Structure 1
């Protein structure tokens, strides 16, 4: 049974100003990418991700439209719990590919809900402290021409 324990500061480390970009394939925009950082100083295995949700302009992004790239591997959000060999350090980003209609140019309110099981804080069998690494930020879409 997890215990919600700690809300982390430094949301600017989770969603940096340049984190939102167009996703193109063969010259056609097929969605967007979002770089998500970790603001927990020790780093955690990807399998510690208990909840991972993205909302853009108030609309939730379907997990079926997401692929998470990390260490040159692709995971669906539901597979993160199985990625116990992948260590997410503070200097590495998750590169999330979201396939779907292109975003309009300009600013977008982006929210990431990120609940992490703190594997270093076990209170008893199956009882871990939780880290809330969520963030909300207004980001400007970086288009292919701006790169």
Structure 2
């Protein structure tokens, strides 16, 4: 429903030292029309040009501090509000590749009234100089 708003392409930046990036980050919004507790975010999959990045390399932060995807499973007190940007960081030696590439994010969400997970997908063309 709100898939086209999941990735903010203007937010993609490399992280770590400028001469030797250790990863990259970007902001994301929930692809569902209501907020969800973080325990209901079953998975976040990040890929560049169709190449999936390891789950262990991804952290999520909706404000109070970063969590691994495994830690999100038990973050009962935390919630991702509708329309609120969250920062997704990915550990990737060298950072986001220079040039034009496709960044994709899939959110797998558990919706209380649905008997199956909701898959929300977005991809954007990103150019890093």
Q: Are residue 135 (structure 1) and residue 126 (structure 2) matched?
A: no
Give the 4+ runs in structure 1 shifted more than 6 A: none
Q: Which residues of structure 1 form unaligned runs of 5+?
A: 1-7, 123-127
Q: Give the root-mean-square deviation of aligned CA atoms.
A: 2.1
Q: How much has 1:97 moved relative to structure 2?
A: 1.4
Q: Which has the larger radius of gyration?
A: 1
Residues 39-78 of structure 1 mapped to structure 2, 5 A cutoff:
39-78=31-70
TM-score (norm. length: structure 2): 0.84
Q: Distance in 2 between matches of 1:97 and 1:31?
A: 7
Q: How much has 1:72 moved relative to structure 2?
A: 2.5
Structure (1 or 2) with the greater strand fraction: 1
Q: Deviations over 1:113-144 (max 9, x none)?
A: 2110113x16xxxxx45322221222233x7x
Q: How much has 1:110 moved relative to structure 2?
A: 1.3
Q: Are residue 94 (structure 1) and residue 86 (structure 2) matched?
A: yes
TM-score (norm. length: structure 1): 0.75
Q: Distance in 2 between matches of 1:27 and 1:69?
A: 25
Q: Which residue, out of 109, 114, 118, partners 2:107?
A: 114
Q: Deviations over 1:15-34 (max 9, x none)?
A: 12213211124874211112
Q: Distance in 1 between matches of 2:101 and 2:121?
A: 17
Q: Deviations over 1:56-96 (max 9, x none)?
A: 11211112222222223221112211122111112222211
Q: Distance in 2 between matches of 1:132 and 1:67?
A: 19
Give the match's secondary structure for 2:5. helix
